[in-house]
A and B are shown apart, each in its own frame.
Chain A
């Protein structure tokens, strides 16, 4: 069964600290993995996208890693800011599938406190 599991479910950190969010997937065959940021009541916004051959990709203070052998990905946020408070969703695309058939994780709810 194609699934995407994220951990932790929720996380609270202090402003300025770093954190790492995890994503494990069983989607096969794998095409690519995306991390999205979703503010409360808003639509998700793409942070990174990685294909099978990429193992690290950065977008400002966000760095995503991918281990296609173990089917694991992580999103590392450095020097967190209050505006980083949001849900972070891991999305895996299956090779050969239509664009709309993406497998979404439930998200990690990150709260950054001052």
Chain B
């Protein structure tokens, strides 16, 4: 079975540009979460989506937005990129929402570099 997939794997943008990152969850998983991992730090929670609805949002500015599609795949959009947005963006999927013992499965991430 395919794991969580993300695209693209790497991306270079300049300040002020906009970027869209994509994630496909494991088949049968309905919840997708997005994390930002700056070099040398642990992942920081950005969003969680379940059944196409936003279920949680971390402490990120409105420049960050996301959505989930009927097939449970998801997109993360970041507008007006700043140098500080350079990071590894991780997507994680799980079967359901709200069950704290359930394991999240992470994708390989998209490495974004903002110049």
Contacts and interface: CB of A to CB of B under 8 A. Distances in A.
Interface of A: 4, 31-32, 34, 36, 41-46, 49, 51, 89, 91, 93, 95, 97-102, 104-107
B43 A104 contact: yes
B4 interface: yes
30 contacts: A32-B101, A41-B88, A41-B109, A43-B92, A43-B106, A43-B108, A44-B106, A46-B104, A46-B105, A49-B101, A49-B103, A51-B101, A89-B42, A89-B43, A95-B100, A97-B100, A98-B97, A98-B98, A99-B48, A99-B94, A99-B96, A100-B31, A101-B56, A102-B45, A104-B42, A104-B44, A105-B42, A106-B40, A106-B42, A107-B41
Interface in B7-63: 31, 33, 40-45, 47-48, 55-56, 58
A43 B56 contact: no
Contacts of A42: 108-109
A32 B100 contact: yes
B90 interface: yes
A77 to B, nearest CB: 19
A23 B96 CA distance: 27
A89 B56 CA distance: 22
B106 A98 contact: no
A99 B102 contact: yes
A21 to B, nearest CB: 14
Contact of B103 (A46, A98, A100, A106): A46
A105 B111 CA distance: 20
Given A101-B45, A104-B42, 10 more contacts: A41-B88, A41-B108, A43-B107, A45-B106, A46-B103, A49-B101, A89-B42, A91-B42, A99-B97, A99-B98
B90 A98 contact: no
A32 B47 CA distance: 20
